[in-house]
Each structure stands twice: as structure tokens, then as C-alpha cells.
Amino acid sequence: MTTGANDPGSGRKTMADLIEVMARLRTPGTGCPWDLEQTFATIAPYTLEEAYEVADAIERGDLVDLREELGDLLLQVVYHARMAEEAGAFDVHDVADGVTRKMIRRHPHVFGDETARTAGAVDGLWARIKAEEKAEKAALKARQANHAAGRETAPAAPSLLDDVPRALPALVRAVKLQDKAAKVGFDWPSLALVLDKMREELSELDEHLRPDASAAQVDKAAVAEEFGDLLFVMANVARHLKIDPEDALRAANAKFARRFRYIEGRLRQDGRTPHESSLEEMDRLWDEVRAADKAGRRGG
């Protein structure tokens, strides 16, 4: 290992140093016990978390935090690549090679000849290239599966929905699935019909929550299913309104947090906490800040 990778204070670090640090952390016998125990599955939640923290730094316009969060996200890439290298699948250099080749291949109007750079050549180009890549990837996976099984089998029939990642936030994935289906005409023709469907799903949920039913009589699985259907159709409402449901919910979360902090602040002025207050008092303070918000919007 190089001196630079060993010593945190010895000059500017490079990608090579980061790769060496990860290799050392994952070296049996001398590495970090925690890092050695990790797998793709156990690290995946951290990868998602780091991506969200990057997005949060961007939303806040904090470039100091963005620099750090991008580093944390880069570490995730190096981590996964190291585990893949240990499995004999690929390494971080293969990752860099693959994404670089993909970007060049998808931009012939930038990296190609004069003909490829014409405006007409660009129309529909991205979709065509992605479709070709998807077919190539499916064929490669089928060959790998056949090799592993020691036999030749026909690859599974592709679906329009195959390239919508399962690990996306559920609301985001719902919109993307709906978008894919809509591209072939499988969509509600108007917002009014989507809203009708929303009311239908709400009614079906309500049917499972009879006021006269005890907790033991409520079918929790059925309630969860109906609630999921309601969320799915709400994502469709957002799509028809051209609203990002994640952004809308994020804004609602921020509004709730701001208003609840107002309640805490008002109670603090009296030397109390929410634990020492009543629901009625907190509701009154909530209505107070809500009215101030509405007045502020009208004034603006």
C-alpha cells in the first residue's frame, strides 16, 4: 500500500488511494471486522441513504456538505466494486470503463462524425440506443444464467417495466411504472377519471375500517392492500397534474415540521413542553400558525 493511502495527512488523496483504502478494509485478517462482514445487501441501504444526503445538500444549496456527501456516495461505489472484485465479477475500473463507453455511445452527436452531429440525427437517438443496450444486457444475463446452469434456455420475455428499478422510493417507482404503461396507451384519458378512481379506492379502504369493528376484526392485510392501492392512485393523480409526489410530500413534511416547531416555541415561552400540554391547546396553536401561513400567502 502506498504511503499516501496510509497517512491521512500526506498530501492530496486520489481515487487510487481510496481504492487501496477499501482493499485494506476488506483484507481478511488485517482489515476492519465490520467491513469484512458486509455484503451487497447490507450495504445497499447505506448507498440509498448517501444518495438522499447528496440530494438534500443540493436542495439546501450547501456546497460544503455536497462535497462531503458526494465523497460518501463515491465510497459506496468503491465498496460495491470491491466486493464484486472479490467475487471475481468486475472491479471499479470495469465500472468506470463501462459508464464511460456508455456515455460516448449515447452521445454520437458529440463524439461521432459530422453526420452524427446533425440535429436530425439526434431525434429519438437516446431511446434507440437505450433499447439496443437493454437488449444486449438481457442477452448477456441470459448467457450468464445459462452458463451457470450448464444448459441453454430461452431468456425470459422482456417487459416494458423491466428497467424501472425496484429499489426506487415507492412513490417515484409508481409514477415511473405508470409512465411506462401510458406510453403504450394504458392510461386514464383524463384527470377526472383518475380522481373518480381515487374516490373508489378511498371508499374500498373505508369499507375495511367499519366503526363498529373491533381491532381484532379488522383485516390488517386487506387494509394494507387497499391503502397501497390508494397511494398508487394518488401517485397517478400527481402524474396527471405533472407534480412530483416526492417533492410534494417533502414540502408537506417541511411544513408540518415548521408548524410543530412553532407549537414547541409557543409552549416554551410558558416554560412548558408538548408533554405538559393538552391536545386541545396544541390544536389551537396549530390553527394559529396555519392561519398565519394563509394570511402570509394572501399577503404575498
pLDDT average, residue stretch 198-205 = 95
* Predicted model pTM: 0.61
Q: Which helix (H) or strand (E) covers residue 77, if one does? A: helix 63-86
Residues above pLDDT 90, as percent of the chain? 63
| Residue 42 sits in the same domain as residue 24 | yes
* pLDDT score of 168: 82
* 154 band by pLDDT with thresholds 50, 70 and 90: low
Same domain, 7 and 102: yes
- Assigned domain for 155 exists: no
Same domain, residue pair 225 and 264: no
Q: Are the C-beta atoms of residues 160 and 184 closer than 8 Å to each other?
A: yes
With respect to residue 211, please indicate whether it lies within any of the assigned structural domains. yes
**97 within a domain of the structure (yes/no):** yes
The answer on 259 and 179 residing in a single domain is: no
Q: Are residues 178 and 232 in the same domain?
A: yes
Domain count, the chain: 3
Least confident span in 45-49, 135-139, 166-170, 269-273: 135-139
Provide the pLDDT confidence category of residue 210 given band limits of 50, 70 and 90.
confident
Do 280 and 295 lie in one domain? The reply is yes
Give the domain extent around 219. Answer: 170-243
The DSSP call for residue 169 is: -
Region label for 28, one of left (φ > 0), alpha (ψ between -120 and 50) or beta (otherwise): beta
Q: Which three cell numbers stand for residue 15?
A: 481515487
**220-240 vs 245-269: helix crossing angle, rounded to 10:** 110
CB environment 206-232: b (16+ within 10 A), e (fewer): eebeeeeeeeeeeeeeeeeebbebbeb
Q: How far apart are CA 58 and CA 192, in angstroms?
A: 35
- Do the beta carbons of residue 82 and residue 23 sit within 8 Å? yes
- Most confident listed range (120-129, 162-171, 250-259): 250-259
- Residue 99 domain flag: yes
pLDDT over 50 (residue 1): no
Considering the domain architecture, whether residues 7 and 101 belong to the same structural domain is answered as: yes
**Where do runs of H (alpha helix) occur along 87-183?**
92-106, 108-111, 119-122, 125-149, 170-182
28 and 99 inside one domain: yes
Whichever domain contains 21, its CATH number is 1.10.287.1080
Q: Are residues 15 and 81 in the same domain?
A: yes
